[in-house]
């Protein structure tokens, strides 16, 4: 029998040894796999951690790149007074305009003014040849002297006739006739005095003087011309410049506020600005309003007076008139450029200390020019964005450049 073959139903020693080796190998393999599994898990966790952190940093950098710092101009809200005006286009009107004409006929012998000269009432402007009127005056005075002598003689005769009538030397009719002659001579003397006064007046009219204070325009007649009282054109035109008026019209809807303001102050301040509404020309006061509304335009006319000491206003000049009707005192003021509007209402962008902006709803009280009075939503010192708002949203980072409030607005 083969000694290597099985002799019974029990396993041999060699097989047991093989099974033991396989079992040990499996145990060692299991221990190594567990070790490698732990290493693998640690590696996965580490990779995930570092990958997630890089992803977070990249996301932060991406968000930072998507929301850059926005350069803006801003100004702090301030506490002040808002003056409310009614503005209108007006025309400068002279108080008095006179066309200087001669009241007598004759040759113009002298012109005593310079074109553009400022003259006063009574200043000599021109002279008409006075000799014809001097001759007329002499003739009138001669006639008066003659009639006065005649009257004196007839009065003497009347006194004598009274004595003769008392002595019954002459008839009553002779006395009455002499009395009539005396009365007739007295009437002639009164007429002669009128002729003398008229001759003196014509002689006075030969000297043409200024009737008002004002500025002389261009000369219309030269020396040597024969002028007449009936000439259509005069010698020159004089226009009063001080004081001067400005006429302007305002809508009838402004009449209630205007009347209320006039009750509080009958002489409301009025300012005259140039065409561009940038430079103030003069300060004046309201004189009066018209007594009716123009139905064709729905406006009412107003007149303001200006001293015009510096002659800044010129007749027929177009100006922008601003009538002060109300002053809102101690209110929060911001530039009109800082006020934004949406479907939800008015709001502003306020710069916070961390250089981010906040959309803040506000309630507007009034607006005048480039300034806005805020009733609610802001406090004095809050920094309001005035330029660059189109690039902003809630929480945007900004770099601020300070702007002055009311920039570009009219300084009262």
The neighbour count for residue 151, using CB atoms within 10 Å, is 19
* The pLDDT of residue 59: 52
Q: Is residue 4 part of a domain?
A: no
**Whole-number CA gyration radius for the chain:** 54
Residue 166, in any domain of the structure: yes
Contact 386, 78 (CB under 8 A): no
Do residues 330 and 79 make contact, with C-beta atoms less than 8 angstroms apart? yes
Given a cut of 50, is residue 144 above it in pLDDT?
yes
Query: In this structure, is residue 33 part of a structural domain?
Result: no
pTM for the structure as a whole: 0.65
Q: Which of 328, 345, 380 is the last residue of a domain?
A: 328
pLDDT at 319: 95
Q: Is residue 285 part of a domain?
A: yes
Considering the domain architecture, whether residues 266 and 344 belong to the same structural domain is answered as no
CATH of the domain at 191: 1.10.287.470
Percent of the chain with pLDDT over 70: 81
pLDDT of 8 reads 45
The b-or-e profile of 378-398 (16+ CB within 10 A means b, else e) is beeebbbbbbbbeebeeebeb
Same domain as 324, residue 246: yes
Q: Can you give the CATH number for the domain in which 346 is found? A: 2.40.420.20
Q: Tell me if 64 is assigned to some domain.
A: no
Residue 385's φ and ψ, nearest 5 degrees, are: -75, 130
Q: pLDDT (tens digit, 9 = 90+) per residue, 239-283?
A: 999 999 999 999 999 888 899 899 888 889 999 999 888 899 999
What is the secondary structure of 368-386 as a DSSP string?
Answer: ETTEEEEEES--TT-EEEE
Same domain, 268 and 370: no
Tell me: do 199 and 150 sit in the same domain: yes
**220 and 231 part of one domain:** yes
- What is the rounded distance in angstroms from the CA atom of residue 8 to the CA atom of residue 178? 211
Same domain, 222 and 357: no
44-48, 348-352, 397-401: range with lowest mean pLDDT: 44-48
Contact 333, 404 (CB under 8 A): no
Q: Are 92 and 397 in contact (CB under 8 A)?
A: no
Residue 25: what pLDDT? 55
Per-residue pLDDT reduced to its tens digit, 375-394? 898 999 899 998 888 888 88
**Does some domain include residue 317?**
yes
Count of domains in the chain?
Answer: 4
Strand partners, 76: 383
User: Do 163 and 225 sit in the same domain of this protein?
Assistant: no
Tokens of 320: 């922008």
Q: Exposed (0-12), middle (13-18) or buried (19+): which is 344, by Cβ within 10 Å?
A: exposed
Q: Identify the CATH number of the domain in which residue 252 sits.
A: 2.40.30.170
Task: Please indicate, yes or no, if residue 171 is contained in any of the structural domains.
Answer: yes
**Which pLDDT tens digit goes with each residue over 189-208?**
999 999 999 999 999 999 99
- Mark which of 222, 239, 256 sits at the end of a domain: 239
> Which of 34-48, 62-76, 95-109, 145-159 is the least confident region?
34-48
Q: Do residues 312 and 244 share a domain?
A: yes
Q: What is the CATH number of the domain that holds 112?
A: 2.40.50.100
Kindly tell me if the per-residue pLDDT of 408 is higher than 50.
no
* Same domain for 227 and 109: yes
> d(Cα 228, Cα 248) in Å, to the nearest integer?
39
Longest dimension (CA), the chain: 233
Asked whether residue 405 carries a pLDDT value surpassing 60, the answer given is no
Range of the domain at 155: 130-205
Which pLDDT belongs to residue 392? 84
pLDDT of residue 37: 65
Q: For residue 279, what are its two tokens?
A: 């430079």
Asked if the model's pLDDT at residue 56 lies above 80, the reply is no
What is d(CA 251, CA 127) in angstroms, rounded to the nearest whole number?
50
In a domain, 53, yes or no: no
Q: Higher confidence at residue 47 or residue 304?
A: 304
Q: Are residues 372 and 356 in the same domain?
A: yes
Task: Mark which of 180, 205, 230 sits at the end of a domain.
Answer: 205
pLDDT at residue 409, rounded to an integer: 42
Alpha carbons 318 and 8: distance in angstroms, whole number: 139
> Which residue blocks in 167-254 are alpha helix, DSSP H?
172-205
Q: Are residues 383 and 303 in the same domain?
A: no
Please say whether the beta carbons of 276 and 321 come within 8 A: no
**284 and 309 co-located in one domain:** yes
When pLDDT is averaged across residues 195-222 and rounded to a whole number, the result is 94
Q: What is the dihedral of CA 261, 266, 267, 272, to 10 degrees?
A: 40
Nearest to 381 by CA among 75, 57, 155, 169: 75
């Amino acid at each position: 029998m083969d000694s290597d073959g099985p002799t019974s139903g029990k396993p041999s020693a060699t097989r047991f040894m093989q099974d033991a080796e396989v079992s040990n190998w499996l145990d060692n393999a299991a221990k190594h796999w567990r070790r490698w599994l732990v290493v693998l898990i640690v590696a996965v966790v580490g990779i995930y951690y570092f990958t997630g952190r890089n992803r977070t940093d990249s996301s932060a950098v991406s968000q930072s790149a998507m929301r850059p710092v926005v350069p803006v101009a801003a100004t702090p809200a301030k506490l002040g007074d808002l003056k409310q005006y009614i503005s209108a286009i007006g025309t400068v009107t002279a108080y008095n305009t006179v066309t200087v004409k001669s009241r007598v006929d004759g040759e113009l012998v002298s012109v005593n003014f310079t074109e553009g000269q400022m003259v006063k009432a009574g200043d000599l402007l021109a002279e008409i040849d006075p000799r014809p009127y001097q001759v007329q005056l002499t003739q009138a005075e001669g006639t008066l002297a003659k009639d006065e002598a005649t009257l004196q003689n007839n009065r003497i005769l009347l006194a004598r006739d009274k004595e003769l009538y008392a002595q019954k030397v002459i008839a009553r009719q002779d006395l009455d006739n002499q009395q009539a002659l005396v009365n007739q001579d007295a009437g002639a003397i009164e007429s002669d005095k009128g002729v003398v006064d008229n001759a003196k007046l014509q002689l006075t009219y030969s000297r043409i003087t200024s009737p008002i204070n004002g500025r002389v325009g261009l000369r219309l007649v030269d020396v040597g011309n024969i002028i007449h009282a009936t000439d259509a054109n005069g010698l020159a035109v004089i226009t009063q410049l001080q004081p001067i008026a400005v006429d302007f019209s305002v809508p009838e809807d402004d009449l209630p506020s205007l009347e209320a303001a006039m009750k509080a102050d009958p002489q409301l301040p009025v300012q005259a600005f140039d065409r561009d509404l940038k430079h103030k020309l003069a300060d004046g006061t309201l004189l009066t309003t018209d007594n009716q509304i123009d139905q064709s335009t729905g406006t009412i006319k107003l007149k303001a007076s200006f001293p015009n000491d510096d002659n800044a206003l010129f007749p027929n000049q177009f100006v922008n008139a601003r009538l002060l009707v109300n002053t809102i005192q101690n209110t929060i003021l911001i530039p009109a450029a800082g006020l934004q509007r949406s479907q939800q209402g008015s709001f502003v962008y306020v710069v916070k200390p961390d250089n981010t902006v906040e959309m803040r709803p506000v309630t507007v009280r009034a607006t005048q020019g480039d300034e806005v009075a805020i009733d609610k939503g802001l406090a004095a010192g809050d920094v309001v964005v005035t330029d660059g708002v189109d690039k902003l949203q809630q929480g945007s980072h900004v770099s601020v450049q300070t702007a002055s409030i009311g920039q570009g607005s009219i300084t009262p």
